[in-house]
Every structure is written in structure tokens, then in C-alpha cells.
Amino acid sequence: MNKATLSATAVVSALALGLPLAPAASAVERVPSRNSEQHRSGHSIPFTEATVTAGADGSYSLSWKAEGVRRVEIRANGRVVARGGATGRAVVTGLPAADRRWFWFQADHGQGLRLADRLVRLSGTVNLRDAGGYRTENGQWVRMGEVYRSDALDKLTAEDRAELRRLDVRTVFDLRMEDERAKDPDKLPEGVDYVVADVFAGSGAFQSLPKSPAEAERMMAEAEKSMVSGAGGRKAYSQVLDGIREDDARAVLFHCTAGKDRTGWAGAALLTALGVPRDTVMADYLASNAYRKAANDAVLGHLPPQQAAVYKPLLDVRAEYLNSGYDEVEAAYGSFDRYLKDALGIDHRELKRLKRDLLIG
């Protein structure tokens, strides 16, 4: 790469850069289907917080808070691995290797939660993660193992594809532009339904590169607005939400190049529609900065400082970018419910079905 100049195509390619992660071993633990009786229970979930974080050494850090309970028990691989009170933390070691390790959080009353680390570690991605595992405003939780968001899938290995099969990913929505898809086509498992949902189709977006950091920031904010009210964005996100709502027996994945902007709005729109608090949605959106740090640093490290400063806003996710999308929702539609209905075709009945399929508690 010539450090003095960088074409638009090169920037798109750079955004797709991913540093390899060691693939996990063994089979994935299956999540009960959406129609499973344990996820249809009418009992409320007492947990207000619960997370699983996998360590590089094979350990798992668990944390939880539960209202009005005295005892919490956590199981994995068929045995109790942690116990505690209403608030607790634990580090679990010595579990057998697995593609994805699931934990069952159960308090002394109420409905339990089945959770895993949000990040799915593949060799060919750095930002593939579960869209679930978040609590809504009314105390329900978004199911994990149903919807995934990712960066580009053109570098998937045979082992990666096998893991996607074990995760039961059967539908993939590609949010990228035509030139991105042609240059770096997805490498998917056999039998996966591949759907093109080009967010910027016909928009002419990103045909030129910014000349200053401020111009780059404005470009990203304007792109976010286009995702909301542009014809391509309306069609693409309608396809994604329809696909999630209609495919209630198998997992769905949506992705772009870096898994942060077009994918970021898809994730934000889904979580907001499900009733997840805005600050939680923002935290999920900004998490791409952490997951993509090594890849982004590698891109910027190939550029002279002045040029790196211009392109850094293109590699980042920032609160003002996502907020510009929400501002566009208000300006163009008046409310998020109206955006769902008028732009994406999700009316009250369809939203109720989406919530019924993806929320527990």
C-alpha cells in the first residue's frame, strides 16, 4: 500500500481487515428453541444484570444481580459451577473446550437465564457477536443464540463455517455494497440462505474520501442518516427485521464490512424495537471499538500520522454517529414506532410477534 495515497476501495478493504483469533474446539451447546417451554414460562426473570465473559486462558467470568432473591446457582455442562447471593461474581475454570459455552443462571425463584459470552470467536472475523443477552425496560431479556451480527465473512475458514452450522445460522443478510460483495464474497456453509440487503444501494455513498477529520466525522453522521431515511436503508433493514421475525426456528446473521455502521444500525434498530434501554443499545454499538481495536490499529499503522487522523473517524464508532440516526428517526418519522411502521413495515401486530419470539420473561 502506498502510504501517501489511499483510494476509496483501499479504505473499504482496510475496514474489512481482521486479525486472526484462535478457533475454539469441540461442539457448541445448543440453545433451546424459541418455542421451548422453559422460555415460554410466565414467571418473571429476577435478574437485572447478568453477563458471561470468556477469558483467553479458558476461564469464564460471571457476574449477576437479581432482585428479591437470596440464592443464585449457575450451571454449565450439567453441573453447578457457581453459587452466590443476590449480587455476585465468579470465575469458572476447568470446563471442557467448546465452540460456545453456555451457562444457566437460576435464582431461588423466577425464571432462569441461559447466557454465553457475546463474542463468537472465529479465525476469520473479529466482530461476530450475539445480538441478545440484554434486558429490556420492562424486565424481559433478549434471547441469545437467535440473532448474530458480524463483520465481513469473506475470510471464514472451513472450521469457521462448521461452527456457524453448529450455531444453526441458516440465513445471512449481506448489508454491503455491490463492489464490496464482488471483491470479497462471503464464504458461507452449504445450505445457508444468502440475502443481499444493500443499505446504500443507489445512494452513491462513499464515492469520495474526506480530506480532514471533521469532514470524516460529518460523512459518518450523514451516512447514518441515510441508513435511516434513504431508500436503500429502508429496504435493507425491512428485509433484515422481516427475516428475523419470519425465521423463528433458526438463527439469523446480518453483517457488513467492519460490522459496526450498517450492522450497528441494524443491531440498534432491533434492540430499540424490542424495548432495550437506549444506554444499553449505545453500549452495544460502541463495543465495536473494543472488538475491532487490533484490526483498526493495524490499518492506521500503515498510514502517515496526518492521513491516519483523517481516516480514524471512519474506523471508529462514536456516540454522535448513532445519535444522528436516532435524530433522523425523529426528524423524518416523529417516533421510533412510526419509523418501524412507515419505513420498515413493522406494524404493532408484527412487532408483537417479534417480541414474542425474541424476548423471554
- For residue range 293-330, list pLDDT tens digits in order: 999 999 999 999 999 999 999 999 999 999 999 999 99
**1 domain residue, yes or no:** no
- What stretches of 86-176 adopt beta strand conformation (E)? 87-92, 102-107, 113-116, 129-130, 141-142, 147-150, 169-174
Counted residue by residue, the chain has a size of 361
Given a cut of 80, whether residue 31 has pLDDT beyond it is no
| 116 and 150 housed in the same domain | no
The C-alpha cell that represents 268 in the structure block = 440498534
Q: pLDDT tens digits for 250-277?
A: 899 999 999 999 999 999 999 999 999 9
Longest Cα–Cα distance of the chain, Å, equals 63
| Average pLDDT value for residue range 100-122 | 97
Pair 205, 294 in one domain: yes
- 13 dihedral zone (left: phi>0; alpha: psi -120 to 50; beta): alpha
Residue 208 within any structural domain of the chain: yes
Mean pLDDT (whole number) for 11-18: 37
Q: Do both 55 and 75 map to the same domain? A: yes
Enclosing domain of residue 106: 27-120
Average pLDDT, rounded, for the chain? 89
Same-domain check for residues 207 and 311: yes
pLDDT score of 209: 86
* Residue 3: pLDDT over 50: no
Among 79, 103, 120, the domain-final residue is 120
214-222 mean pLDDT? 96
Q: What integer is the mean pLDDT of 197-205?
A: 86
Of 54, 88, 120, the residue at which a domain comes to its end is: 120
Is residue 14 pLDDT above 70, yes or no? no
pLDDT in tens, 77-92: 999 999 999 999 999 9
Across residues 285-294, what is the average pLDDT? 98
The answer on 141 and 245 residing in a single domain is yes
**Res 43: pLDDT:** 63
pTM for the whole structure: 0.89
Helix extents (H) in 152-250: 158-166, 178-183, 213-229, 231-246
Mean pLDDT in residue range 155-167: 97
Given this model, what pLDDT does residue 202 score?
83
Residue 21 has pLDDT above 70, yes or no: no
Higher pLDDT, 238 or 19: 238
Q: Where do we find the cell 437479581?
A: 66
pLDDT reading at 24 higher than 80: no
pLDDT for 15 beyond 90: no
Which CATH number characterizes residue 48's domain? Answer: 2.60.40.10
Q: Please tell me whether residues 223 and 298 are part of one structural domain.
A: yes
